[in-house]
Chains A and B, each alone.
Chain A
Amino acid sequence: MNKKKKIEDFIANIEDDNGQWLEKARYRRANRGWLRKSQKIAIRVLSVLDEKDMQQKELAEAMEVSPQQVSKIVKGKQNLTLQTISKLEQVLGISLIEVPRQSYTKKVEVKKTAKATYDKKSEQ
């Protein structure tokens, strides 16, 4: 058989996989920001479970959620709510997220007249 034809026949008989990888890869790329955070939380949760010799099933019971939900959390693919994160922190006795304290640099001036008025009122 002609070799070019052989390749053409080979390609012609190949079916699409319905673009499953492409769709997932594009989703991962578009949602990278929160997925990274979800993955970091999953790593921490699995490490703590390992340290405590605790099963995922026990974690689910303690959190009063289904084992399926815990399974999703530890895969690092779940868009977690603050409520779920707080439950995880409480049950495992760890801190998972913290909002850094913002340092305010803008000075607020208090006018003397305003202070005087306040002082005067407070004396009454």
Chain B
Amino acid sequence: MEIVRIIAGVDSLLSVQYEDNEDSEFDILFDKWNNVEFLYAFFKEHQRDLRKGSIPQAIEKTLKDAEQLENKLLDVAEGKIKLQTIFKPLSNSTYRLKPYQKSKAYGTVHRSWLRVYAIRIHEDLFVITGGAIKLTQTMQERQHTQEQLDRLRRVRDYLKGQGFSDDDLENLEAI
């Protein structure tokens, strides 16, 4: 596992990149969410989780949500907005962002099912671990979202291996 900078000169947006992939997880994520063939296969497999609407409708919704989310992230890349404005705590019962907190970016369309997962290690420093199309209430209910939870844990462990610890939390926030 490697952590890479997604935008040259911008240290706030980092991503995980695995050895067997040429691209970062962040790059792979948006490639998938803009790939109709991938989305068709995904919704065919998870059709039972679609409460209403057909597979074509689900794909169109995903493409639209991905477009809006990507535009927001482009605004971050171009310095128009800060990442903090699009990330929220992963746990619904958590109200305040803290260092090391597992975070998720929401699609900007109401009831978007797109999720970008990240670990925040400083006020404006996020490491993207991956993302998912979340169709169920909890991440544990489906294998592809459970895998994202596992990834979050692995990246968190990796960061600890890089010298960060839970004791750093407040101090990192102060920098």
Tell me the A residues contacting B by CB distance below 8 Å.
1, 3-4, 6-7, 9-11, 14-17, 19-22, 24-26, 28-29, 32, 35-36, 39-40, 42-44, 46-47, 50, 71, 74-77
Contacts and interface: CB of A to CB of B under 8 A. Distances in A.
B71 interface: yes
Interface centre among A17, A25, A44, A47 (most CB of B within 10 A): A17
A47 B36 CA distance: 11
Contacts of B86: none
B14 interface: yes
Nearest to A2: B171
Contact of A20 (B2, B24, B60, B168): B24
Interface residues of B, number: 45
Nearest to A38: B36
A50 B45 CA distance: 13
Given A20-B24, A32-B67, A43-B60, A14 B36 contact: no
A7 B102 CA distance: 18
18 contacts: A6-B164, A11-B11, A16-B4, A17-B27, A20-B24, A21-B23, A22-B6, A22-B74, A25-B74, A26-B74, A28-B70, A29-B70, A39-B36, A39-B59, A39-B63, A42-B37, A44-B56, A46-B36
Nearest to B60: A43
B126 to A, nearest CB: 13
Contact of B27 (A1, A21, A42, A44): A21
Contacts of A75: 35-38
Nearest to B17: A17
A44 to B, nearest CB: 8
Given A17-B23, A21-B24, A21-B26, A43 B40 contact: yes
